[in-house]
Amino acid sequence: MTYFILANPNSGAHKGARVLEKLLPYLETERVDYRLFATEKIGQEAELIKKICEQKEEIDHLIIIGGDGTLSLSIDALPAEMPFSYIPAGSGNDFARSLSLSTDPIQAFVALQKGNSHDIFIIKYQSQHLNGYALNNIGIGLDAAIVKATNEGGMKKFLNRLKLGSLSYLLTALHVLFTKKSFRADVNFFDSSVKNNDLFDRAFLMTFTKHPYFGGGIRIAPDASNLDANIHLVEFDRIPLAKIFPLIPKVLNATHLDNPNFIHHISENFSITTSDNQPIQIDGETHEIRATETLNLSTEKRTIIY
Protein backbone atom coordinates (compact mmCIF):
# COMPACT_ATOMS: atom_id res chain seq x y z
CA MET A 1 0.00 0.00 0.00
CA THR A 2 1.23 3.47 -0.86
CA TYR A 3 0.34 6.69 0.96
CA PHE A 4 -0.36 9.48 -1.55
CA ILE A 5 0.33 12.75 0.26
CA LEU A 6 -1.02 16.08 -1.02
CA ALA A 7 0.63 18.84 1.02
CA ASN A 8 0.60 22.63 1.01
CA PRO A 9 4.02 23.56 2.49
CA ASN A 10 2.93 27.18 2.67
CA SER A 11 -0.19 26.69 4.84
CA GLY A 12 -0.25 28.14 8.36
CA ALA A 13 2.80 30.37 7.77
CA HIS A 14 4.88 27.37 6.57
CA LYS A 15 3.48 25.00 9.18
CA GLY A 16 2.84 22.64 6.24
CA ALA A 17 6.59 22.55 5.56
CA ARG A 18 7.32 21.91 9.25
CA VAL A 19 4.80 19.03 9.31
CA LEU A 20 6.58 17.48 6.31
CA GLU A 21 10.00 17.96 7.96
CA LYS A 22 8.72 15.92 10.89
CA LEU A 23 6.62 13.35 9.05
CA LEU A 24 8.81 12.38 6.08
CA PRO A 25 11.88 11.24 8.11
CA TYR A 26 9.48 9.17 10.25
CA LEU A 27 8.00 7.52 7.12
CA GLU A 28 11.55 6.80 5.84
CA THR A 29 12.62 5.26 9.16
CA GLU A 30 9.46 3.15 9.33
CA ARG A 31 9.90 2.14 5.66
CA VAL A 32 6.45 3.40 4.78
CA ASP A 33 5.86 3.63 1.04
CA TYR A 34 4.68 7.13 0.10
CA ARG A 35 4.51 9.59 -2.79
CA LEU A 36 4.52 13.32 -2.10
CA PHE A 37 2.56 15.85 -4.18
CA ALA A 38 3.44 19.28 -2.79
CA THR A 39 1.61 22.37 -4.05
CA GLU A 40 3.93 25.02 -5.46
CA LYS A 41 1.40 27.77 -6.03
CA ILE A 42 -2.03 28.99 -5.04
CA GLY A 43 -4.99 26.97 -6.38
CA GLN A 44 -3.00 23.88 -7.43
CA GLU A 45 -4.98 21.40 -5.28
CA ALA A 46 -7.43 20.26 -7.98
CA GLU A 47 -4.63 19.57 -10.48
CA LEU A 48 -2.67 17.46 -7.94
CA ILE A 49 -5.79 15.57 -6.80
CA LYS A 50 -6.43 14.68 -10.45
CA LYS A 51 -2.83 13.38 -10.79
CA ILE A 52 -3.21 11.35 -7.58
CA CYS A 53 -6.49 9.82 -8.78
CA GLU A 54 -4.78 8.76 -12.03
CA GLN A 55 -1.98 6.96 -10.17
CA LYS A 56 -3.66 5.70 -7.00
CA GLU A 57 -4.88 2.09 -6.67
CA GLU A 58 -7.94 1.32 -4.53
CA ILE A 59 -5.79 -0.10 -1.70
CA ASP A 60 -3.68 3.11 -1.52
CA HIS A 61 -4.40 5.82 1.04
CA LEU A 62 -4.75 9.57 0.42
CA ILE A 63 -3.50 12.01 3.06
CA ILE A 64 -4.07 15.77 2.77
CA ILE A 65 -1.76 18.11 4.70
CA GLY A 66 -2.53 21.83 4.98
CA GLY A 67 -4.99 24.30 6.46
CA ASP A 68 -8.77 24.30 6.13
CA GLY A 69 -8.46 25.97 2.69
CA THR A 70 -6.15 23.29 1.28
CA LEU A 71 -8.41 20.54 2.61
CA SER A 72 -11.53 22.20 1.21
CA LEU A 73 -10.06 22.77 -2.27
CA SER A 74 -8.78 19.17 -2.34
CA ILE A 75 -12.12 17.65 -1.32
CA ASP A 76 -13.82 19.81 -3.91
CA ALA A 77 -11.83 17.98 -6.60
CA LEU A 78 -11.96 14.50 -5.03
CA PRO A 79 -14.49 11.88 -6.23
CA ALA A 80 -17.19 11.47 -3.55
CA GLU A 81 -16.51 7.76 -3.05
CA MET A 82 -12.78 8.18 -2.32
CA PRO A 83 -11.87 8.15 1.42
CA PHE A 84 -9.21 10.56 2.66
CA SER A 85 -7.17 11.34 5.76
CA TYR A 86 -6.10 14.75 6.98
CA ILE A 87 -3.14 16.07 8.96
CA PRO A 88 -3.79 19.70 9.99
CA ALA A 89 -1.17 22.34 9.22
CA GLY A 90 -3.13 25.59 9.11
CA SER A 91 -3.45 28.60 11.38
CA GLY A 92 -7.13 28.04 12.26
CA ASN A 93 -7.51 24.23 12.00
CA ASP A 94 -11.25 24.37 12.67
CA PHE A 95 -12.02 21.14 10.81
CA ALA A 96 -9.37 19.21 12.78
CA ARG A 97 -10.75 20.69 16.01
CA SER A 98 -14.27 19.54 15.10
CA LEU A 99 -13.13 15.90 14.92
CA SER A 100 -10.44 16.19 17.65
CA LEU A 101 -7.74 15.22 15.15
CA SER A 102 -4.20 15.38 16.48
CA THR A 103 -2.11 18.33 15.33
CA ASP A 104 1.04 16.30 15.95
CA PRO A 105 1.94 14.86 12.51
CA ILE A 106 3.36 11.55 13.82
CA GLN A 107 0.44 10.96 16.19
CA ALA A 108 -2.01 11.84 13.42
CA PHE A 109 -0.25 9.45 11.02
CA VAL A 110 -0.15 6.59 13.55
CA ALA A 111 -3.91 7.08 14.13
CA LEU A 112 -4.84 7.10 10.42
CA GLN A 113 -2.59 4.08 9.76
CA LYS A 114 -5.08 2.02 11.82
CA GLY A 115 -7.55 2.62 8.99
CA ASN A 116 -10.71 3.46 11.00
CA SER A 117 -13.30 4.94 8.62
CA HIS A 118 -15.84 7.55 9.73
CA ASP A 119 -18.75 8.98 7.76
CA ILE A 120 -19.04 12.74 7.87
CA PHE A 121 -21.38 15.17 6.12
CA ILE A 122 -20.10 18.12 4.16
CA ILE A 123 -21.95 21.09 2.63
CA LYS A 124 -22.72 21.07 -1.10
CA TYR A 125 -23.26 24.60 -2.42
CA GLN A 126 -24.61 25.65 -5.78
CA SER A 127 -25.67 28.94 -7.37
CA GLN A 128 -25.59 30.47 -10.84
CA HIS A 129 -21.82 30.97 -10.67
CA LEU A 130 -20.58 29.15 -7.54
CA ASN A 131 -20.59 25.43 -6.88
CA GLY A 132 -18.58 22.96 -4.85
CA TYR A 133 -18.17 21.56 -1.35
CA ALA A 134 -17.36 23.04 2.05
CA LEU A 135 -16.28 21.04 5.10
CA ASN A 136 -16.46 23.88 7.61
CA ASN A 137 -18.66 26.87 6.99
CA ILE A 138 -20.02 29.30 4.46
CA GLY A 139 -20.43 32.87 5.64
CA ILE A 140 -22.14 35.83 4.00
CA GLY A 141 -21.56 39.38 5.24
CA LEU A 142 -19.50 40.09 8.34
CA ASP A 143 -17.42 36.90 8.63
CA ALA A 144 -16.72 36.90 4.89
CA ALA A 145 -15.64 40.54 5.09
CA ILE A 146 -13.38 39.62 8.05
CA VAL A 147 -11.81 36.65 6.22
CA LYS A 148 -11.32 38.82 3.10
CA ALA A 149 -9.69 41.64 5.09
CA THR A 150 -7.59 39.15 7.14
CA ASN A 151 -6.33 37.31 4.04
CA GLU A 152 -5.65 40.50 2.10
CA GLY A 153 -4.04 42.45 4.95
CA GLY A 154 -0.45 41.95 6.11
CA MET A 155 -1.53 41.39 9.71
CA LYS A 156 -2.25 37.65 9.33
CA LYS A 157 1.27 36.89 8.07
CA PHE A 158 2.84 39.02 10.78
CA LEU A 159 0.77 37.53 13.63
CA ASN A 160 1.17 33.99 12.23
CA ARG A 161 4.91 34.47 12.57
CA LEU A 162 4.34 35.31 16.23
CA LYS A 163 2.02 32.29 16.48
CA LEU A 164 -0.92 34.64 17.09
CA GLY A 165 -3.01 33.72 14.03
CA SER A 166 -6.31 33.79 15.96
CA LEU A 167 -5.56 37.32 17.14
CA SER A 168 -5.41 38.51 13.53
CA TYR A 169 -9.06 37.44 13.06
CA LEU A 170 -10.00 39.27 16.24
CA LEU A 171 -8.26 42.56 15.38
CA THR A 172 -9.55 42.54 11.81
CA ALA A 173 -13.02 41.65 13.12
CA LEU A 174 -13.01 44.80 15.26
CA HIS A 175 -12.14 46.99 12.28
CA VAL A 176 -14.78 45.38 10.02
CA LEU A 177 -17.38 45.67 12.81
CA PHE A 178 -17.15 49.46 12.54
CA THR A 179 -17.36 49.63 8.75
CA LYS A 180 -19.52 46.75 7.42
CA LYS A 181 -23.07 47.66 6.40
CA SER A 182 -26.09 45.38 6.89
CA PHE A 183 -27.82 43.65 3.96
CA ARG A 184 -31.19 42.11 3.15
CA ALA A 185 -31.38 38.33 2.82
CA ASP A 186 -34.23 35.97 2.06
CA VAL A 187 -33.66 32.49 3.49
CA ASN A 188 -35.77 29.39 2.79
CA PHE A 189 -35.23 26.14 4.66
CA PHE A 190 -37.00 22.85 5.08
CA ASP A 191 -37.73 21.60 8.56
CA SER A 192 -39.35 18.11 8.76
CA SER A 193 -40.49 18.63 5.14
CA VAL A 194 -42.24 21.90 6.11
CA LYS A 195 -40.97 24.87 4.12
CA ASN A 196 -39.96 27.82 6.29
CA ASN A 197 -38.89 31.30 5.36
CA ASP A 198 -37.03 34.03 7.21
CA LEU A 199 -36.54 37.47 5.73
CA PHE A 200 -33.67 39.39 7.29
CA ASP A 201 -33.80 43.14 6.61
CA ARG A 202 -30.66 44.11 8.52
CA ALA A 203 -28.52 40.95 8.26
CA PHE A 204 -24.96 41.48 9.41
CA LEU A 205 -23.47 38.04 10.13
CA MET A 206 -24.86 34.95 8.42
CA THR A 207 -22.91 31.74 8.87
CA PHE A 208 -23.94 28.30 7.67
CA THR A 209 -21.83 25.74 9.46
CA LYS A 210 -21.37 21.98 9.51
CA HIS A 211 -19.58 21.91 12.88
CA PRO A 212 -19.23 24.22 15.90
CA TYR A 213 -16.09 26.17 14.99
CA PHE A 214 -15.18 29.18 12.87
CA GLY A 215 -12.43 31.81 12.81
CA GLY A 216 -9.88 29.55 14.53
CA GLY A 217 -11.80 28.04 17.44
CA ILE A 218 -14.83 30.30 18.01
CA ARG A 219 -17.84 28.04 18.78
CA ILE A 220 -20.40 29.82 16.63
CA ALA A 221 -22.87 26.86 16.68
CA PRO A 222 -21.91 24.74 19.71
CA ASP A 223 -24.32 21.87 18.88
CA ALA A 224 -23.44 21.49 15.21
CA SER A 225 -21.76 18.25 14.19
CA ASN A 226 -20.22 16.90 10.99
CA LEU A 227 -21.52 13.45 11.99
CA ASP A 228 -25.14 14.37 11.11
CA ALA A 229 -26.70 15.90 7.98
CA ASN A 230 -27.84 19.17 9.59
CA ILE A 231 -26.50 22.57 8.60
CA HIS A 232 -26.70 25.25 11.31
CA LEU A 233 -27.47 28.84 10.35
CA VAL A 234 -26.41 31.51 12.84
CA GLU A 235 -27.65 34.98 11.89
CA PHE A 236 -27.04 38.27 13.64
CA ASP A 237 -28.69 41.59 12.68
CA ARG A 238 -26.80 44.87 12.57
CA ILE A 239 -27.53 46.61 15.88
CA PRO A 240 -25.81 49.68 17.41
CA LEU A 241 -22.12 49.01 18.11
CA ALA A 242 -22.58 49.82 21.81
CA LYS A 243 -24.93 46.81 22.01
CA ILE A 244 -22.62 44.55 19.97
CA PHE A 245 -19.56 44.84 22.24
CA PRO A 246 -21.20 43.29 25.36
CA LEU A 247 -22.10 40.29 23.18
CA ILE A 248 -18.48 39.52 22.22
CA PRO A 249 -17.66 37.69 25.51
CA LYS A 250 -20.86 35.67 25.00
CA VAL A 251 -19.67 34.60 21.54
CA LEU A 252 -16.23 33.73 22.90
CA ASN A 253 -17.89 31.64 25.67
CA ALA A 254 -20.36 30.08 23.20
CA THR A 255 -23.37 31.32 25.22
CA HIS A 256 -24.56 33.80 22.54
CA LEU A 257 -27.41 31.69 21.09
CA ASP A 258 -29.60 32.44 24.15
CA ASN A 259 -29.48 36.11 23.18
CA PRO A 260 -32.49 37.30 21.11
CA ASN A 261 -30.20 39.15 18.68
CA PHE A 262 -28.98 35.80 17.35
CA ILE A 263 -31.23 33.69 15.11
CA HIS A 264 -30.40 29.98 14.94
CA HIS A 265 -32.01 27.66 12.38
CA ILE A 266 -31.13 24.01 11.81
CA SER A 267 -31.98 22.26 8.55
CA GLU A 268 -30.53 19.89 5.94
CA ASN A 269 -31.31 22.36 3.11
CA PHE A 270 -31.15 26.13 2.80
CA SER A 271 -31.57 28.54 -0.08
CA ILE A 272 -30.44 32.15 0.25
CA THR A 273 -30.91 35.26 -1.87
CA THR A 274 -29.30 38.59 -0.99
CA SER A 275 -30.54 41.95 -2.22
CA ASP A 276 -27.09 43.28 -3.11
CA ASN A 277 -23.64 41.82 -3.89
CA GLN A 278 -22.02 40.50 -0.71
CA PRO A 279 -18.68 38.93 0.16
CA ILE A 280 -19.01 35.19 0.84
CA GLN A 281 -16.40 32.97 2.47
CA ILE A 282 -16.32 29.26 1.75
CA ASP A 283 -13.99 27.46 4.17
CA GLY A 284 -11.89 30.61 4.41
CA GLU A 285 -11.66 31.29 0.64
CA THR A 286 -13.49 34.49 -0.35
CA HIS A 287 -15.82 35.00 -3.30
CA GLU A 288 -18.84 37.21 -3.98
CA ILE A 289 -22.51 36.32 -4.03
CA ARG A 290 -24.37 38.46 -6.54
CA ALA A 291 -27.61 40.32 -5.88
CA THR A 292 -30.74 38.20 -6.52
CA GLU A 293 -28.57 35.10 -7.14
CA THR A 294 -29.92 32.10 -5.20
CA LEU A 295 -27.42 29.96 -3.30
CA ASN A 296 -28.62 26.44 -2.49
CA LEU A 297 -27.07 24.42 0.33
CA SER A 298 -27.49 20.71 1.07
CA THR A 299 -25.22 18.00 2.51
CA GLU A 300 -23.39 14.94 1.17
CA LYS A 301 -21.66 12.05 2.92
CA ARG A 302 -17.89 11.52 2.72
CA THR A 303 -15.55 9.02 4.37
CA ILE A 304 -12.56 10.15 6.42
CA ILE A 305 -10.00 7.79 7.95
CA TYR A 306 -8.46 8.78 11.31
Ligand X SMILES: Nc1ncnc2c1ncn2[C@@H]1O[C@H](COP(=O)(O)OP(=O)(O)OP(=O)(O)O)[C@@H](O)[C@H]1O
Site residues (vs ligand X, CB under 6 A) = 8-12, 39-45, 66-70, 73, 90-93, 284-285
CB of 146 vs ligand X, minimal distance in Å = 12
In one-letter notation, the amino acid at residue 230 is N
> Minimum distance between the CB of residue 10 and ligand X, rounded to whole angstroms?
4
Look at residue 278 and give its three-state secondary structure.
strand
**If we measure between CA atoms, which residue out of 212, 195, 205 comes closest to residue 263?**
205
Q: Roughly how many angstroms between the first and final C-alpha of the chain, as a whole number?
A: 17
Looking at beta carbons only, is 17 or 187 nearer to ligand X?
A: 17
Give the residue ranges of DSSP H helices in the chain.
11-29, 45-55, 68-77, 94-98, 105-113, 142-152, 155-161, 165-179, 241-244, 248-252
Q: With contact defined as beta carbons under 8 Å apart, do 7 and 16 qualify?
A: yes
Distance CA 232, CA 218 (A): 15
| Closest distance to ligand X from the beta carbon of 186 (Å) | 30
- Least separation in angstroms between CB 235 and ligand X: 23
* Shortest spacing between CB 126 and ligand X, in angstroms: 21
Is residue 137 within 8 Å of residue 286, measured between CB atoms? no
Residue 79 CB, nearest approach to ligand X (Å): 20
Cβ closest to ligand X, residue 49 vs residue 187: 49
* Nearest residue (CB) to ligand X, 67 versus 141: 67
Q: Cβ closer to ligand X: 274 or 286?
A: 286
Q: Smallest distance from the beta carbon of 145 to ligand X, in angstroms?
A: 16
What is d(CA 202, CA 302) in angstroms, rounded to the nearest whole number? 35
Query: Smallest gap, in angstroms, from Cβ of residue 261 to ligand X?
Result: 28
Between the CA of residue 72 and those of 14, 15, 91, 135, 290, what are the distances in Å? 18, 17, 14, 6, 22
| C-beta closer to ligand X: residue 48 or 295 | 48
Please say which residue, 66 or 212, places its beta carbon nearer to ligand X: 66
Under the phi-then-psi rule, with left for phi > 0, alpha for psi from -120 to 50, and beta for the rest, what region is 283? left
d(CA 275, CA 280): 14
| CA dist., res. 173 & res. 75, Å (int) | 28
CA proximity to 102, closest of 19, 13, 178, 189: 19
Helix/strand/coil for 22:
helix
